[in-house]
Structure 1
Amino acid sequence: MMTSLLVCGFVGMFSETALNIAISHLMEVFHISASAAQWLTTGYLLTLGILMPMTGLLLQWFTSRQLFIISLVSSITGTLIAAMAFGFEMLLAARVLQAIGMSLLLPLLFNMILVAYPPEKRGAAMGSVGLVIMFAPAIAPSLSGLLIEYLSWRYIFWFSLPLLGIGLLIGLRYLENATKRTKPPIDLLSIVLSTIGFGSVVFGFSKAGEAEAGWTSMAVTVFLLIGIVFLALFVLRQLTIPQPLLNLNVFRYPMFTVGQSIILIGMLIIVSSMIILPIYLQNSLKFSAFTTGLLLLPGSALNGILSPSMGRLFDKHGPKRLVIPGFLVIATTLGFYCWITASSSAGWIVALHIGLMVGISMVMMPAQTNALNQLPPALHPHGTAVMSTLQQVTGAIGTAIAVSLLARGTGTRLQDSMLSNSLDRMADAIAFGSRNAFFFSLIVSIIGLIIGIFIRRVVVKRDGISHSSI
């Protein structure tokens, strides 16, 4: 069962990130602008942001097997259409289908772990998820770069298709219905408020992260204001109806709230580094896209490889002994990143990236497992839905902030620079802008360290009641 879910999760994460390196190539193939090509990413994120809040309800309306089959059929259909796409609109529609499948698969994966594994083994199981979630993005740039250079961008999807088929066959054979359908009433107003609220926020921050848009864009301002208003109405609605679409009572459990805060901080750091480092390596240190992918591979791969071990350490020692040292490692490496220049060595950047990813592996899965452990079984679907939704929103926010800090720092440095060579001046300016973004991440990591002091291990008794211990 877990093999099937992890294989499909791997392919989903690979497909999500592998296409990013092909954006410039697709602009030439389909003769589209950068803003149009960006919709291949924005549309994907927008679909996730809209559907993720509804997964708590879907997990109670459909069986595990039904959701798994719907997810895989959508993913396989989208991947097949993408591989054969003869136009940009066709490829964009395929990306939406892929996102629908991924939005159902990830919450189902986390929920199945909570149901199938006893609390004392959930850390190791969550670590396996971390291996998949981090290893797929780690190899995606390098592998997609090779496929584009020697074959075609279409092979990004042809590579994924047989793996999805294998995952589907294994799931049909071994995946069992581990949850009961309660079929709570569907509140249409909540669905409308959620769709407009989360969709507008994700779209607004995604536009803010585009170079030609930015925070001063009227569209960004309007969509963010609409999103905030509708999300406020959505929260009020969830707190006043007996059976909400997204049960916000999960935040009444202190370790869930602490763990969720740590996860979002970790997500901000991951997203900002994934955006800034490739730009810095390619435009300041002058490496190719393929070489950049290879340079970032060791750290990201090690993060995934260490995740199962971190999960087992969590099962044995609890979260605090991992989270606090993890944030110390993260803050230290980000502090060194604040001193990078256009002449920094590639080996030093790789070493720092490895340290950053090791710290992330010590923080993310332990905090996530501990948070979900405190929720009673009835709130498990809502807990996974809240986590998945907020991570998507945080990803959009982190991208927008990192890009804006990079752009502002680069522009300021270009105005003040005394270098005569334009190429050297640009390389120096991008390094300066990158330091601005890493300084923001450093501040965020210190906040995470402070929050980590309050984390306590959740002990789940046999009757399902949980309590916290130091």
Structure 2
Amino acid sequence: MSAAIPERPAVKAGRTPTVVRLLVLATFVVILNETIMINAIPRLMHSLRISEQSAQWVSTVFMLTMAVVIPITGWFLQRVTTRQAYAISMGVFLAGTVLSAVAPSFEVLLMGRVVQAAGTAVMMPLLMTTLMIVVPDHDRGRVMGNVTLAISVAPALGPAVSGLILQVGSWRLLFVVVVPIAALVTFFGLRKLDNISEPQVSSIDWLSVGVAAFGFGGLVYGLSLFGDSDGKVGLATGIVIAGGAAIAVFVIRQLKLQRTGVPLMDLRTLGHRTFSLSLALLSIGFLAMLGAMILLPLYLQNLRGLSPLETGLLVMPGGLGMGLLGPSIGKIFDRFGGRLLVVPGSIGMVLALGGFTQVSTTMPYWQVLGLHALLMVSLAATFTPVFTLGMGGLPPHLYSHGSSMLGTLQQVAAAFGTALVVTVMSARTTHLVADGVAAVPAQVSGMKLAFGVTAALALVTIVVAAKLPPRIAGADAQDHGSADGDTAVSEPPGHGEPATVSQN
């Protein structure tokens, strides 16, 4: 029987619902760990006696696990209450953090990171789905500006935070510091958190789960191998092709289930034009951000001789600016719409990445800081409106599927961005060294080319930004997003509709 579309709890104008505040805080804590290990690579190599390629896996395995788990979250969030999803997510994350902190070997550390990522994978879809249910559309830009702090600024601040902590002691402190913070967030969250929806009984197609895990996991793993310096290009290419083929099978399976059953990831979300455009723009944005985050520490530490702490302090203003501007950008979106922000933001992203193509061993640090700040502010101006427009362009019963798709593509884009810039930089450097160019000038040239490639890709965001609508008018009242020009797609009655809200 068809369930009722959820009613929103009463929310005062200009106030962020408590449930969203709690979820933003929890999401910030868990997503911060995705990039917090980037500056710890040298410490890990020395402490655990591992190679640089092995040490990189503390970050890669996190993205890999996220890419595998996130597709399942759409089904999972429909099966449990808000409090249950929160408790399970934070409990799993805490267990992984403790395991990582006490890990006696590299293998156990990787296992801890896998457990951490499994808990983290649930938080962003839970936050996005909850926000779309409890926040009225006229206030979503402001609230989404606060959410930007968690889903965009946390990865940007990871290297800066780790640089400060590593100045004090061991890499284990990166996990020890997080444990009490995450425990307090979990405790107070469970005391204050209300359920905003009732669970629905639904089945899961385990074939889809297996194919999704192999496809998305294989794609991220294969892309990560391109960044290795051990000549694994052939193996990486084969794994990427196999992962792509598995994803194709996954898509065919979901299309069939949309007609006869319950899909693991509802691809009808892609039938909504605004969501598809938002997905493309966000993927390229995360690719550019992660690519720059990998290249800048390499440039500042390997070529300019800065310490992890100095590197962290240099990139911190950009990350903080991104977070502090989030709420203001959200208010501008609510008042004027998205185009005023997204188009200039996309142009700023291209200009910043283009500026980094001029890096050298003598570039003033204030220029590096300024370009990084421009990139972060441009991404903030882009992410908040695009997240809001993309999710707002979906009908309520597709919110959980849309948020899980955004999260999955974010991880794939991050892995692709990391692999792309490292591969381009390494290939260019190796070629120049073989031609007799000194190592340092060759590395500088490789970084310039890598930044140039990301800048060229970012040009696509300007075109996509121009096609986005200024705002979604009455998206919640629509069945299939017709207000933003989306094409209606036929759907079985009662399929996947959200249940009535339970307000405690």
**CA displacement at 1:239 relative to structure 2:** 0.6
Name the CA distance, whole Å, in 2 between partners of 1:88 and 1:446.
40
Name the CA distance, whole Å, in 2 between partners of 1:343 and 1:115.
51
More divergent stretch after superposition (86-95 vs 322-331)? 86-95
Any conservation in 1 of the 2:167–2:309 contact (CA below 8 Å)? Answer: no
Aligned twin of 2:383:
364
2:405 pairs with one of 386, 393, 396: 386
Name the CA distance, whole Å, in 2 between partners of 1:429 and 1:307.
38
2:165 pairs with one of 119, 133, 147: 147
User: CA, structure 1 residues 387+104, in 2 after alignment: closer, same or farther (shift >3 Å)?
Assistant: same
Q: Which amino acid aligns with 1:240?
A: K
Name the CA distance, whole Å, in 2 between partners of 1:306 and 1:213.
43
Residues 418-457 of structure 1 aligned to structure 2 (within 5 Å): 425-456=438-469, 457=471
Asked if 1:40 is matched to 2:58, the reply is yes
User: CA, structure 1 residues 213+16, in 2 after alignment: closer, same or farther (shift >3 Å)?
Assistant: farther
**1:320-343 deviation line (CA, Å, top 9, x unaligned):** 111111111122222222222222
**1:251-287 deviation line (CA, Å, top 9, x unaligned):** 1111011111111111111111111111112222232
Name the CA distance, whole Å, in 2 between partners of 1:78 and 1:157.
9
Asked if 1:217 is matched to 2:230, the reply is no
Name the CA distance, whole Å, in 2 between partners of 1:138 and 1:249.
32
Aligned twin of 2:221:
203
Residues 114-129 of structure 1 aligned to structure 2 (within 5 Å): 114-129=132-147
Provide the identity percentage. 33
1:252 pairs with one of 256, 271, 280: 271
Aligned twin of 1:235:
251
User: CA, structure 1 residues 213+123, in 2 after alignment: closer, same or farther (shift >3 Å)?
Assistant: farther
Any conservation in 2 of the 1:83–1:154 contact (CA below 8 Å)? Answer: yes
Aligned twin of 1:460:
474
Any conservation in 2 of the 1:271–1:398 contact (CA below 8 Å)? Answer: yes
Q: Which amino acid aligns with 1:217?
A: G
Asked if 1:95 is matched to 2:108, the reply is no
Name the CA distance, whole Å, in 2 between partners of 1:320 and 1:140.
30
Give SS of 1:16's match.
Answer: coil
Give SS of 1:409's match.
Answer: helix
Q: Which amino acid aligns with 2:323?
A: G
Q: Which amino acid aligns with 2:234?
A: S
Name the CA distance, whole Å, in 2 between partners of 1:450 and 1:237.
32
Any conservation in 2 of the 1:283–1:427 contact (CA below 8 Å)? Answer: no
Name the CA distance, whole Å, in 1 between partners of 2:439 and 2:250.
45
1:350 pairs with one of 369, 372, 380: 369
Name the CA distance, whole Å, in 2 between partners of 1:145 and 1:371.
34
Aligned residues: 461
**1:396-418 deviation line (CA, Å, top 9, x unaligned):** 11111111111122223334466
Name the CA distance, whole Å, in 1 between partners of 2:24 and 2:412.
23
User: CA, structure 1 residues 37+322, in 2 after alignment: closer, same or farther (shift >3 Å)?
Assistant: same
2:355 pairs with one of 332, 336, 346: 336
Give SS of 1:85's match.
Answer: coil
Aligned twin of 1:421:
none
Asked if 1:9 is matched to 2:23, the reply is no
**1:53-107 deviation line (CA, Å, top 9, x unaligned):** 1111111111111111110110111111222222222222111110011011111
**CA displacement at 1:20 relative to structure 2:** 1.9
**CA displacement at 1:464 relative to structure 2:** 4.6
Q: Which amino acid aligns with 1:98?
A: Q
Any conservation in 1 of the 2:38–2:59 contact (CA below 8 Å)? Answer: yes
**CA displacement at 1:166 relative to structure 2:** 1.5
Name the CA distance, whole Å, in 1 between partners of 2:231 and 2:149.
35
Any conservation in 2 of the 1:197–1:230 contact (CA below 8 Å)? Answer: yes
Aligned twin of 1:159:
177
User: CA, structure 1 residues 190+140, in 2 after alignment: closer, same or farther (shift >3 Å)?
Assistant: closer
**1:377-399 deviation line (CA, Å, top 9, x unaligned):** 10001000110011111111111
Name the CA distance, whole Å, in 1 between partners of 2:231 and 2:198.
46
Give SS of 1:113's match.
Answer: helix
Name the CA distance, whole Å, in 1 between partners of 2:327 and 2:445.
36
Asked if 1:182 is matched to 2:196, the reply is no
Give SS of 2:472's match.
Answer: strand
Asked if 1:78 is matched to 2:91, the reply is no
Give the CA RMSD over aligned residues: 1.7
Give SS of 2:473's match.
Answer: strand
Any conservation in 2 of the 1:53–1:389 contact (CA below 8 Å)? Answer: yes
Q: Which amino acid aligns with 1:228?
A: G
Asked if 1:400 is matched to 2:400, the reply is no
Name the CA distance, whole Å, in 1 between partners of 2:107 and 2:155.
25
Any conservation in 2 of the 1:285–1:427 contact (CA below 8 Å)? Answer: no
Name the CA distance, whole Å, in 2 between partners of 1:136 and 1:386.
20
Q: Which amino acid aligns with 1:458?
A: I
Any conservation in 1 of the 2:212–2:250 contact (CA below 8 Å)? Answer: yes
2:296 pairs with one of 274, 277, 281: 277
User: CA, structure 1 residues 103+168, in 2 after alignment: closer, same or farther (shift >3 Å)?
Assistant: same
Any conservation in 2 of the 1:4–1:168 contact (CA below 8 Å)? Answer: no
TM-score, with normalisation over the residues of structure 1? 0.94
Any conservation in 2 of the 1:186–1:245 contact (CA below 8 Å)? Answer: yes
